Chains A and B, each alone.
Chain A
Amino acid sequence: MLSPFDLPDGIFLLITDELPSPADFALHQCLISHAKEKKDSLRIVLSVSQSLTKWQSISGKSSVTISQQITAKTFHLIDVSSGLESDKITSDPLHALYEQVAAVLETYSQGPDALVILDDISALEWIGYSTSGLFRLCRALRALCLKNNATLLVRHHIVTPGNLDRLFRDVYSLCTHHLDIQPLTSGRSGAVSGQIALHLGPNASSVQPAIKVRSRSTALQYRLTDGSALFFERGSSRGVL
C-alpha cells in the first residue's frame, strides 16, 4: 500500500498534513492500490470532508471504478456530515458511526484485509465533537480493525506546526505508523508540491514486517498531478536538475 513506502496490511496509519499540502493524494492512493491489489476485499470510507464524486473521479483516473465496487458491495461510503441533522452535537453520533462501521464489516467482509479510512478527524473536533469522544471513536475503530485484521487510516490536520494539539497526541498514542506530510518551507512551487516523512508510531510491533522509515531530514518529495502523485528523492526533481 502506498507504493514508495510499501506499508503492510493491518496497521493503524495516522496521516498528518497542513493546509498548503493536503494529504488527499495519500488517502486516494491507498484506496486505489488497495482496490487494485485486493479486489474482493472491503473498503469503508468515513467521509467527513470529501464527497463521493471526488472519490469516484480521482479513482476513475487510475482505472478504478467506484460505482462497480458499490454494486459489488466492496466499497461503502458513510457520509458523516449527514449525521449532523441537529445543531446540538453530542457524542452519540460517534457511537452510531462506530456501530455502522461494525455492521458493515460484519455483514460484507469477505476477507481479512479490509481498509477503513476516516478522512478528516480534525473537522469533527472543530465543529463540536469532544476530543475525548473522538479519541474513544479511534480506539474503538482500532480494536475493530485489529479484530478483523483490517487497516485503519486516520487523517489529522496540523494547524499550529510546532505546537501539537491534544487530539493529535491522543490519536498518535494509538497509531502504529505516522505519515507526516509537510509543505515546502520555501513556499509553493510547480515542481515540488511537498514532502513526506514516515515514522514508527508507539504501537508499532516487531511482529509486523519492517519498513523503511524516513525522518524529516530524508523526507521524500512529491509532485501532484490531476489523479496521482509522483515521488522522488529530495534534490532530484526536474526543477532542480
Chain B
Amino acid sequence: MSSFKRKTTSKTQVLPGTRPSPGSISTTITSTGIPSLDDILGGGLPLTCSLVVAAPDPHSSYGELVQKTFLSQGLACKQDVFVVGGDQDALDWVKGCMWFRDSSSALDEVGDDQKLADEDQKMKIAWRYEQMKQFQTTVGSASTSEDFCRTFELTTRIPASTVENALQSSQLITCDLAADSTSVATPRVITSIEELLSRRLSKAPLRICIPGLGSSAWGDLCGQDILRFLYRLRSLLRQNPLTCASISLDPHISSEAWGGPGWIQRLGWMCDGMITLDAFTTNPSLSNLFPSYHGMVHIHTLPSPHTLLPPSDRFSNLRGLSASTTEGGSSSGENNLAFKCTRKRLIFETMHLDVEGGVGERRTTPAPTAGILDTDQVSRLQSESLPVPASKAALASVQVEIELDPVSTSTAKVPSYNDVTAIEVTHTPKKKPKKTVAFRSDRPDLYDF
C-alpha cells in the first residue's frame, strides 16, 4: 500500500449566487442579473461594495430597471434581499419585478434562436469570412452559469407565490418610508439596515436594494444628506463581508444641475462603483444619430475592494481596456458604451456607428426628377401628341427643347406599348466601381471598407 495520499483541498462553503472574482481569490462577486453589466463591473458586483446608478432622464426608468433585475437575481439565487420602498410601496414594487421563464419554454426559445442563427449562417457572402466569428457588441449569458446569473425577461412577472414564500422565510425584507415630510428618511433607513445586520443569523449573502434614492418619499434631502447616507452605507457594508448594495438615484438628483459643480464626482467618491445611464430621450438628435441604442453609459468609478486596479480594467470585454495592455497598446483606449432595452431585456454593449455612417436612411437628398429622365421617358414624351397651338403668337412664346443623349438614341428603338424587345436595348448599364473589403489578420473583429 502506498504511503502517499492525495492532497485534498479543504472544502470551503460556497455562498449561493456567488463566485470568486477572476482578478482576486479574496474577492467574492455576485451577479447584478444583467450579464453585460456584470462584465462592465469585472465579472459582477463584489460583496462589501455598493453600486450607484444615476439615470438623469425623467421620462424613462432605466435605473429602476437595473434595480429590479438586481432584486430578481437575488431572489432567484436564494440570497436575502432588503428593499427600501420609495414613492411606491416596497412590496408592490417587488411584485412588478421581472422573472425568468421555466426551463422548457426557455429551451424552446433557445431552439428557435438556434434555428434563426442557422438560417443566418446559411447566408454566406464569401468563403474567406467563414472562419471569422460574428461581430459581437455585447456579452451573452452563455458565458456565465445559470446559478450565477439567470436570464430574466421583461415580459415575465415574478410569481406571487415566490414573493409570498420569500416574505415568509424572511428571504425578502421590505422597508417602507413613512409619509413624514418633516424629516429626511436617510437616518431611519441607515438605522433599519444597522438593526437588520446586527440581528442577522443567516449565512446567505444579503442584497440591499434602494430604488429612487432622493425621491419625494425620502423627504427634503440636501446634497450633504445623500453623501452622508452613501458614506455610512459604505462603512456598514465593509463591516459586513456578506453584504452588497445597489442604489439608483432619482432622476432629478442624477445631474450636476441639482448638486452643483462636481456633484457627480462627489457621488462617485462616496461609493465603490458608479455609472450613469444617459438616455437619448432628452436629446432627439442623438436618438436619430444612434437609432439602435437607447442611451449612453458613462462609467465614473468601478469597485476594487482588494486591488489598486479595478478587475474590470483587466477582464471586461466590453470596455476593451485589457486589449491595449496585452496586445502591445495598439488599442485606442476604452470603448464607448451604450445600452438598449429590447422587449425582453436590458443590454449594455459597445457603441458603433451604423455601416452607412450613423443612420439607416439615405442622408443626401435625391437629385431632382428632371435631371434623371431616361430614354423611356424621353421617347414617351416624344410619342405624345402635343396640342396644336391656336395662334402664331402662342407658337412663338412656347417652345420646348429636349436634348437627347446621342449615344442612347443611336442604339435605342422607339418603344411602343407592346414592344418587349425594346427593354433589352434601351440601356447599357454603367459599370459601378468595385467595392473593396479588407480585413486585418491581427484584429479579426475589424473590417476595413
For window 221-243 of chain B, which residues contact chain A by CB distance below 8 Å? 224, 227-228, 231-232, 234-235, 238
**With contact pairs A128-B228, A239-B329 given, residues A227 and B307 touching in the complex (Cβ less than 8 Å):** yes
A207 at interface, CB cutoff 8 A: no
- List 12 A-B residue pairs with CB atoms under 8 Å apart, sorted by A's residue number: A22-B301, A51-B48, A126-B224, A126-B227, A126-B231, A159-B266, A188-B334, A189-B333, A190-B329, A190-B331, A225-B308, A238-B329
Complex contacts, B307 vs chain A, CB 8 Å: 57-58, 226-227
- Expressed in whole angstroms, the minimum distance between the Cβ of B24 and any Cβ of chain A is 7
B389 at interface, CB cutoff 8 A: no
B261 at interface, CB cutoff 8 A: yes
- Expressed in whole angstroms, the minimum distance between the Cβ of A192 and any Cβ of chain B is 9
State A120–B228 Cα separation when bound (angstroms).
Answer: 14
Contact B321 A25 (CB under 8 A): no
Contact B308 A51 (CB under 8 A): no
A24, A120, A189, A225: residue with the most chain B Cβ atoms closer than 10 Å: A189
Contact B300 A19 (CB under 8 A): yes
Contact with A along B325-344 (1 / 0, CB 8 A): 10011110110000000000
Contact B270 A123 (CB under 8 A): yes
**With contact pairs A57-B307, A58-B306, A87-B187 given, residues A18 and B224 touching in the complex (Cβ less than 8 Å):** no
Known: A25-B308, A190-B321, A229-B308. 11 other contacts (CB 8 A): A58-B307, A58-B308, A126-B231, A157-B265, A160-B261, A188-B333, A191-B324, A224-B309, A224-B313, A225-B308, A239-B325
- Expressed in whole angstroms, the minimum distance between the Cβ of B89 and any Cβ of chain A is 26
Complex contacts, B321 vs chain A, CB 8 Å: 188-190
Complex contacts, A228 vs chain B, CB 8 Å: 308
Complex contacts, A225 vs chain B, CB 8 Å: 308-309
Contact B269 A239 (CB under 8 A): no
B322 at interface, CB cutoff 8 A: yes
- Expressed in whole angstroms, the minimum distance between the Cβ of A25 and any Cβ of chain B is 5
- If over half of A's interface residues share one DSSP class (helix, strand or loop), that class is named, otherwise mixed; here it is loop
Which of B24, B231, B262 is the one whose CB lies under 8 Å from A123?
B231
Contact A191 B224 (CB under 8 A): no
Contact A126 B333 (CB under 8 A): no
State A21–B187 Cα separation when bound (angstroms).
Answer: 31
Complex contacts, A54 vs chain B, CB 8 Å: 305-306
Contact B266 A190 (CB under 8 A): no
State A114–B216 Cα separation when bound (angstroms).
Answer: 49
- Expressed in whole angstroms, the minimum distance between the Cβ of A140 and any Cβ of chain B is 23
Contact B235 A19 (CB under 8 A): no
Complex contacts, B330 vs chain A, CB 8 Å: 239
Contact with B along A137-165 (1 / 0, CB 8 A): 00000000000000000000101100100
- Expressed in whole angstroms, the minimum distance between the Cβ of A83 and any Cβ of chain B is 11
A240 at interface, CB cutoff 8 A: yes
Complex contacts, B227 vs chain A, CB 8 Å: 126-127
